[in-house]
Amino acid sequence: MQTNRQTKIGIAISKAGTKTIIVKVDTMVAHPLYRKKIRTTKRFAAHDQNDAVKVGDTVLIGETRPLSKTKHWEVINIIKTTTEVEA
């Protein structure tokens, strides 16, 4: 059986609690009348089973069954990790 689940790439912007992160996903859409490209941002609550994601990491998230009221996504892969911010 094949599943057609969506995946999105975004940046982890906060740790919302145990095993939960908030991921910001930016997309470019065309304005319906003027066709100018507009950046839209959406936030997704994602399940992080191993608590491995840190704030600032780029992650791949995928749809899953509802895990809580707002959590319907899970972390599939950490694409890029952040290092110490240079001050």
- Does 2.40.50.140 match the CATH number of domain 7-80? yes
The DSSP bridge partners found for residue 11 are: 24, 58
Domains of the chain by residue range: 7-80
CA-based nearest residue to 59, from 18, 28, 20, 3: 20
Please tell me whether residue 2 adopts helix, strand or coil conformation.
Answer: coil
- pLDDT, residue 68, reads 95
Query: What pLDDT was estimated at residue 3?
Result: 74
Checking if the pLDDT of 7 tops 50, the result is: yes
Is residue 27 within 8 Å of residue 9, measured between CB atoms? no
Check residue 4 and give its pLDDT. Answer: 86
pLDDT for 87: 47
Strand pairing category for 7-17 and 58-63: antiparallel
Quick: pLDDT tens for 27-74. Answer: 999 999 999 999 999 999 999 999 999 999 999 999 999 999 999 999
pTM over 0.95: no
